Chains A and B, each alone.
Chain A
Amino acid sequence: KAGVTQTPRYLIKTRGQQVTLSCSPISGHRSVSWYQQTPGQGLQFLFEYFSETQRNKGNFPGRFSGRQFSNSRSEMNVSTLELGDSALYLCASSPTGPQTNTEAFFGQGTRLTVV
């Protein structure tokens, strides 16, 4: 069974631009979560989607948004990029239905560098 696939693996963008990251969950998984990982702040929750609906959201500005498609694939978008947005963005997928959480399986991440 294929794991969580994130594309692209690496990305370099300029301040002020926007970026879209993609995540394909494990087949059959309907929940997709996004995390930002930085050396200073560690792993921080961005948002979670289930059945195309955002079910939970972390404490990030509105420049960070996401969506989920009917096939459970998810994208996140960051607009008006800032230098501080440079990070490893991780996607995790989970097999569960609503409310009861089980394991979350992470992809390898997208390394975003903002210059």
Chain B
Amino acid sequence: GENVEQHPSTLSVQEGDSAVIKCTYSDSASNYFPWYKQELGKGPQLIIDIRSNVGEKKDQRIAVTLNKTAKHFSLHITETQPEDSAVYFCAASEGTYKYIFGTGTRLKVLA
């Protein structure tokens, strides 16, 4: 069935360093890939997304890349700051709002 694998489950980086989170999806019909950030006690917040007709998208310190052939997509955060500490989720969708989420990555940015 549909599945999204996400790695790593936890990630600790020094402030100012880069962080990379990787996801792999199984459904070749997937065409929309959002990334969400969830802080304690809050709902997931959309931080960036990418569609299957695009290979890379950047928004200030965050970027997402997509490799459709390998069914991989990744989140890159540069110049990390303490406020980037949160749980990050990737998701995949085939064009509906039935998102298949990854299991999450807990990012800790050490000051």
Q: Chain A residues in contact with chain B, CB under 8 A? A: 4, 31, 33, 35, 42-45, 48, 55-56, 58, 90, 92, 94, 99-101, 103-109
Contact = CB atoms under 8 A, between A and B. Distances in A.
B89 A58 contact: no
B61 interface: no
A104 B43 contact: no
B85 interface: no
A101 B104 contact: no
A48 B96 contact: yes
26 contacts: A4-B43, A31-B97, A33-B97, A33-B98, A33-B99, A42-B89, A42-B103, A43-B89, A43-B91, A43-B99, A43-B101, A45-B98, A45-B99, A45-B100, A48-B98, A56-B98, A58-B98, A90-B44, A101-B32, A101-B93, A101-B96, A103-B49, A104-B34, A104-B46, A104-B99, A107-B43
Interface string B72-111: 0000000000000000010101011111111110000000
A106 B34 CA distance: 13
Chain B: interface size category: 20 to 34
Nearest to A111: B41
With a 10 A CB-CB cut-off, give which of B41, B43, B89 has the most chain A CB atoms.
B43
B36 A55 contact: no
Nearest to A107: B43
A47 B33 CA distance: 19
Nearest to A58: B98
A108 B43 contact: yes
